[in-house]
Each structure stands twice: as structure tokens, then as C-alpha cells.
Structure 1
């Protein structure tokens, strides 16, 4: 791992492509399809459109829905009511709608309270959000925990506003509902789990949230094809911040079972990767993600916990839960929190790269055994077709001394200055010769079946929760 946090390059918002046509890649195309289909839904905290998006995703792969009713106290938070928008617009003096929720959900700030009236230009401007840095775009705003309302307009549109008066209609309501978290599970031989997390909220935007969900879903499809996984892999799609708390509120028994987590955030735009380290800073998820990114795309950035981008890692890796959680992101990007965050800015190559990184992360995680020797004394290497000329390279001698079961493949590779893959290959070869057991942790009696990761026929039955194979259930309250 890097000793220093590094951002020794400028952001590149039009990162040079390295070639390759991904338009025929089924995984990349599926990510793009999901982004296009769910882009314009009003996916706010508790809303009908959020539920529609979750239902759509459940039709791609069966899932379990964890629902927490409005008003429920979730740790220190209270689940909000469902926000319903019947109609919302601003009309100028000529009768033209200069803002219309039915055209784009960002025109109305999320969770705006109801209002109907006629305003002067000065009064209206007090209720309008703009982004001068993106003058042609509609910005994103919200009033989650304050009874207020506002509209969002392109900065250029505000500069060209007439003198008024303006007719304003905000026909909204708050109703009882439930915050929902979708969960997909690919079971492994062990209940020990790796969690992928992404948020599904942020209406009318794609890279911020939705792209991570879409990519995570395709990753779960790939995982379902892999035989003999040791770890169980979980993906959750949820409203930002409070949604991940709902997941652990409903599933406290999973906290000690989940060994590491990856937050997928803003992964489709043309920019370099950045890795935000976990609170622990040196967990296996930190180390394997940096190794994976380094193989796929350089340069890349690494930053400390909560210093690159702030999202649900504060819950997953926060007080009382504290699962090591890194974030994988391509932050920043200039379209952030505006209507310009559309499918148009999602790069097929960036999607492909991110999928490759996540797959490589999984492959290394699955190969991070604790090799336990079954031999005594100096090993007769030639007998097992393992002989290497020690005068040229004494690595294998160092390896056979290292397989005592007290260190992982990653730790051994660091100690000996070897690549992770070379060390894992030695462990695999020794295992195939019956010379070592491949366990996964101190006292782990469940030895690796060591089938390796390979593509097989897709098996949807492997994606389930709590034994409910191939179904979509909902858990309320």
C-alpha cells in the first residue's frame, strides 16, 4: 500500500480512452440500459418513483426488500413520510411554464412543502436555486427535514426572467410510507460476507448513485456464475445515508458477519479512480482494492476516511457497526448535482474498467488463504514437481517456510516482496499436491475447496436471501 495519500494529478473530465468497443459487451450494455431506464424517476427518500425503481431492479434479479415504516426511530434518525407530488410548476406572465416537475424532477426541490400563490419576481427569486457554474443545467436541491419549498432553474433562465407576476403551484403531500432497501445475495461456502453498497436516490441523475447500483447488480450476475465461492456477497441499494442505517437496523446479526464493504459511488464518468480508505486504513478491502485499481488504471488517487467523498461509509464503518468500508469513486465531475448528470456522461469504458476492478478485487479476496503446511522438515520438491533452482531464485524455499497458517497470502507476499498472484499461485500448487490446507482465518476449519473463479452457466437460484431462492419478498416494520 502507499505510505502517503496521493492526489498527484489533476482531475481529467475527459479521460483519454485506450481503445476498444464495448457497445457489444452484454455487461456494459446492461449497466447502460438500467441507467437510461431509471434516470428520470423521482427517486427520493420515500416515494412512489423510488419504489418503482426498486421494483424494476428486482425484475432484473430477484431480491429481498427491507422496509421500515415512516415514523420509526432508526438509531438516532426518524424515517420520513412518503413524499407525493401531484403537480408543481411556475408560470410566467405569458402563461408559459418556466419550471415543470412533469418535465424533469429536479425542477422542484425534493420534499418541498405545498404552496399555491402568485409571487413577484423578487419573491420568486428567494425561492429559486441555481448553479452559476453550470448555467444551462437544473441544479439539485432538497428540504428533507424542514417544512419549506423551492424550485430549481437553470442560471441562464433566471437571468432572462420577465418581470412577473408568477403563478406558483406546489401540490405535494406527506403520507405514511416505508423506506426500502433492496438486497441481493450470492451465497458462498461461508456466511462471512463482503458487502457492496450504492444509493438509489438522487432524482433525475445517473452517475451520482444510480450508476453504482446498476454496476453492482451486473457484478452480482457475474458472481452468481462463479463456483465454490468462499465468501457470501451482498449488494444493497438504498437511499443515501439513512438507508444503510435501515439495513443494519433490520439486520443487526449481520454486523459481525460482514467482514468488509465497498461503497460504489460515481463510477461511470471519465475521470481517474480514487479510493477512499476505510476507517481502519489498512484492512484487506483497502489493500485489495488498491491492488486491483493499480492493475487496471493508473494514475489513481488514495485518500483517508471521509476525506475524498462522504457517503454511507460513515454508517457502515461508523460507531457501533465499524465494518471496514472503502469507497471506489471517480469523483469529482463537473455535472455533479445537476440535470447534466445524465446517461450521456456515462462512459462505456469507465463502466468496463470499474467492473474489471471489482472482479479483480473479488478474485484476490477469494484467494487470500492462510496456507497451513502438512509437511515436516525440508520438502523434497522434485518429488512433487515443485523444484526450482535455488541458485537462481530461492523464493520457493522462503515460501515453504512461510506456510505455517499464521499469515495470509497477502501478508506473505508483503513479507517476501512478491506479487500477490505469485504467492497465491504457490499456495494453490502446494494445495494441489496435498502439501497445504488453504484456510481463510485463524481457527477456520472450513478449508478452501479451491475450484477457482471461472465462468459457468448463469444460475439465478444462487442469488437469494435467507434461503428464499429466486423470490422477491418484502419485510415491513
Structure 2
């Protein structure tokens, strides 16, 4: 997975850009991808697809000393991602309105922040704290930003693994954020590996992997198929999975959907350190789009955020933990598998079930109590995962039990 991240890292992956398209082409070497192209200017609900952003050069020079303060060629993150063009000489007071030097978490005074005013366009540069402190407040500065906005196409990469039914599970990983490795190439790499593994397994749901720009990509995707969303039963938004931190699962908007418990139980089953929070309680990504009341598709966010290098030039492949990537891969696979196996059982037996006769007396607490009560809670309405949630029961134990009873024709 780290090799995938290293291959995708060197591109300027702005929302609509040549770098984003190059990254999509590399992903297509690992998975069969259908490219969905949406033209600049296309309205998507209250949003609009932006123009294609191209950078030729960008420099910031102290006019008095001739010192080169920042150069896009030395570090592309010196320039606002999506910056407008600008040529001119400005005072420090004017320049300061267009500078960013504060980082979210990093205490490293040499860290250059990553800034992207996509939806409130402006020109500007990013400097480290140390670079910013060296600026002479009495000098004037020569600004040269040679960029162009042109008509282009937002690209969505779609890889579909067909199941036995038309019911769908979406797995979404955003590909944008130039020169950021953990955010979000780590999740892109995990999604690729999960897709490769699922291919060889028998599944009920159709699994649809989407690789797209964050926010606007999901908005555009939903807008395109707004009349054909009913088959989507769950969405996993995976974002930042490459740092050593606990797994964070943020629930669906209603907080009650069985997808939430499938995630929680999968974390416990794998013995992963984890935290379960409410919808967008700490952070957020494209789950916002799918949980919208007018769309109403249950979506969770799975991440290992936060981390010190977040949104700085220090978020590069060297900080990625192979162990964290592997934990992410195992978890996403298990969640998909558990949710995919879920069904609504219907009892075919009468009276207490003699579990010992069929090998399901475990002589363990609380498992035996849970198995006993499981049979009482089958009502033809609740699914296996929903029953497991009410009993605080391991989802895999519940699914294994229910599937075995189904094979024995004790359940429909």
C-alpha cells in the first residue's frame, strides 16, 4: 500500500486538474475504473463544478533585498491551492492579508501549511512560522503568480464489484489534496487493496468504490444519480488511515442505523483501539452529503485523524505507518463483510431451542444468554445486526449463529 501512496504523491491533485487526472490513471492500473467526467460550470444542487486550475510559476520576492521568499518550484504548497493569478508589488500590510503561516497541530516552526480556498477564491502564499518571522515589515514585496483557470472536467473513478443483488455498499476515498500523503492517499491505497480482495469473495451486495475530489466529487456523483439512489444501503467514507492513532468511527446522522453497530463490533472483534462518536462530532468528510435529509443514505466516517503533520508539507510518505494501513484494510473488509451478510431472520422452530444438540451451547457467559435471547427477539422485522446491537452481542457471533440455523432450516 505504501508503494501506491508513493506513486500518487508527486502530483498537484487539485479538484479539477491535470494532477488529479494523472492520479486517477494510476489508480486504474490497480483496478478497472470507469471515469465519470463532469464539465466545469455544471450545477450540482447549490454547487457548481469549478474550472481546471493550471500553474506555470509563482514567486514571492523581497523587492528591497532581492531575496526569494517563496517559490512554487521549491515547494508547491507555498502557493494557495486554487490561487488566483496576481502580478504586482505590495506593502507588507497588503501582503499579510494573503499569507498563511499557522498550522492546525504542528509545532514545527518550519512546517508549511496547506491552504485551499477553493470556494472563496483569492491569491496567496503559505510560509512556515520561521519564514514569516523573517519578513521585514517595512519592505515591499514583488508577487508573481502565473496560473490559469480553464474549462475542464471533474473526474470520478468508479470501480464496481457486482454481488448477487442490486443492493449497494459505497466505499468513498477522496483523491485530492496535493502533496498530502496521509490525507488522503492512505485511504485511497486501503480502498484499492480492499477492492482487490473482495473480487475473490462471494458477496450479496454490489460494492461500488468511488475515487473522487472531496465534497464536490460526492455532491456531483449524487446529483448525477439523484433518481437512482434507492439501491444504496450504506456508505463508508474512509479518510486518513495511515497514522498510528485509535480508529475513529463517526456515526450516521440518526445514530441508530445497524451500520453503526457493524462498525463498532468489527473494531472490537479485531481488537483495535477505537472510539465511536456521534455524527460529525469531531471531524467530517463526505458523509455529510449522503446523510443529508433530502438524500437520506446512512454513511459513516472512518479515520485515524488527528495527527501532527495534518495539512502541512510534512504530510509525506515518510510519516505513513504500514501497521496503520494494514489495520485499516482489515477493518474495512470486516465491516463490509459483516454488513453484507446481514439479513432479516424468520423463526421456523417452536419453543426453546436445544442449542446443545446442534453445537451451539458454548458454556460461556454472556454469549449463551445472548444466543438464548437471540431466538426470542426474532420478529421478522429486525435484522441480525439490529438484534445483536440490542443484545450488545458480537456481530460475527450473531451472523454465524443465524446462518447456521438457516442452513438447518430453522430460520428463513
TM-score (norm 1): 0.78
Secondary structure in 1 aligned to 2:172?
Answer: strand
Aligned to 1:279: 253
For residues 76-106 of structure 1, the C-alpha deviation after alignment (integer angstroms, 9 at most, x for no partner) is 1111111111111223456554322223221
Aligned to 2:22: 52
Deviation at 1:189, TM superposition (A): 0.5
Change (3 A) 1:135 1:297: farther
Q: 1:426 aligns with which of 391, 394, 401?
A: 401
The answer on 1:41 being equivalent to 2:15 is no
Distance of 2:249 and 2:16 partners within structure 1: 30
Distance of 2:100 and 2:130 partners within structure 1: 12
Asked whether the 8 Å contact 2:38–2:49 carries over to 1, the reply is: yes
Deviation at 1:397, TM superposition (A): 6.0
Distance of 2:261 and 2:45 partners within structure 1: 31
Change (3 A) 1:170 1:290: same
Q: 1:131 aligns with which of 77, 81, 102?
A: 102
Distance of 2:68 and 2:383 partners within structure 1: 63
The answer on 1:318 being equivalent to 2:292 is yes
Deviation at 1:254, TM superposition (A): 3.8
Query: Where does 1:48-127 land on structure 2 (aligned, <5 Å)?
Result: 48-92=18-62, 97-127=68-98
Distance of 2:369 and 2:142 partners within structure 1: 82
Aligned to 2:153: 178
The answer on 1:386 being equivalent to 2:358 is yes
TM-score (norm 2): 0.89
For residues 226-281 of structure 1, the C-alpha deviation after alignment (integer angstroms, 9 at most, x for no partner) is 1x200111111211111101101112244211111111112111211111111010
Q: 2:319 aligns with which of 345, 348, 367?
A: 345
The answer on 1:293 being equivalent to 2:267 is yes
Unpaired segments of 5 or more residues in structure 1? 1-30, 438-477
Deviation at 1:109, TM superposition (A): 0.3
Secondary structure in 1 aligned to 2:155?
Answer: strand
Aligned to 1:212: 187
Change (3 A) 1:154 1:65: same
For residues 12-42 of structure 1, the C-alpha deviation after alignment (integer angstroms, 9 at most, x for no partner) is xxxxxxxxxxxxxxxxxxx211211222311
Distance of 2:304 and 2:393 partners within structure 1: 29
For residues 375-405 of structure 1, the C-alpha deviation after alignment (integer angstroms, 9 at most, x for no partner) is 56777879xx516679996776655555553
Structure scoring higher RCO (CA < 8 A, sep ≥ 6) equals: 1
Asked whether the 8 Å contact 1:70–1:82 carries over to 2, the reply is: yes
Cα root mean square deviation, aligned: 2.7
